[in-house]
Amino acid sequence: MNKILVVVDLENVTFHLFKSQDKEVDPSDVFAAAVEKIKAIGQVYGIFLFLPPHSEPKGSELLRKTPDCFMVVCPREISEGISMDTVDKTIKKFCEKVVTQMPDITHLCLFTGDKDYIPMLETLKKEGLKIMIVGGEKTSLSPKLKRVADKYPRGNKEMVFLLTP
């Protein structure tokens, strides 16, 4: 059976989700629908939401409504007097460490549209992981990132989902 680790760059996917909608969107409903699509491929091993401190209320709401979900608040770093977001860096470290410590994980599903994750994903693919991508909406999903996703077990289509229709 496929075991899927879900990693969410929450601010990346929800920023585009709210920006692209004309009507009010409940992120937990959209998120739940995406998780159901993922479950069609295998068992969800765990869902990890990565977010900066200012997004904690949004993450807390998803955490409350989503079983097997964990929130990781990524602190900001000060470098040369500039406050910097550490979400991407923290996700990369988490994936590189956790995946090696969980040999029964077969798939990594990353919620993002950010192409900065491509080198990490390519490394994980070489280690045998299948890659799934969930983007916020079509225009926020990097075409290069989409190409990193593996194909469905039966078919020729990449395992790429969007939170918006």
Q: Counting Cβ atoms within 10 Å, is residue 158 exposed (0-12), middle (13-18) or buried (19+)?
A: middle
pLDDT in tens, 17-76: 655 555 566 777 888 888 999 999 999 989 999 999 888 777 787 777 787 789 999 998
pTM of the complete model: 0.91
Task: Give the dihedral sign, CA 153/66/163/59.
Answer: negative
User: What's the number of domains the chain is made of?
Assistant: 1
Q: How confident is the model at residue 155 (pLDDT cuts 50, 70, 90)?
A: confident
What b/e sequence results for 31-44 when a residue is b if at least 16 CB atoms lie within 10 Å of its CB, and e otherwise?
A: beebbeebeebbeb
Tell me, what CATH number does 66's domain have?
A: 3.40.50.1010
- What confidence tens digit (pLDDT) does each residue in 92-150 have? 999 988 877 888 999 999 999 999 999 999 999 999 999 999 998 888 889 999 999 99
Domain that holds residue 140: 3-162
Q: Work out the pLDDT band at 16, boundaries 50, 70, 90.
A: low
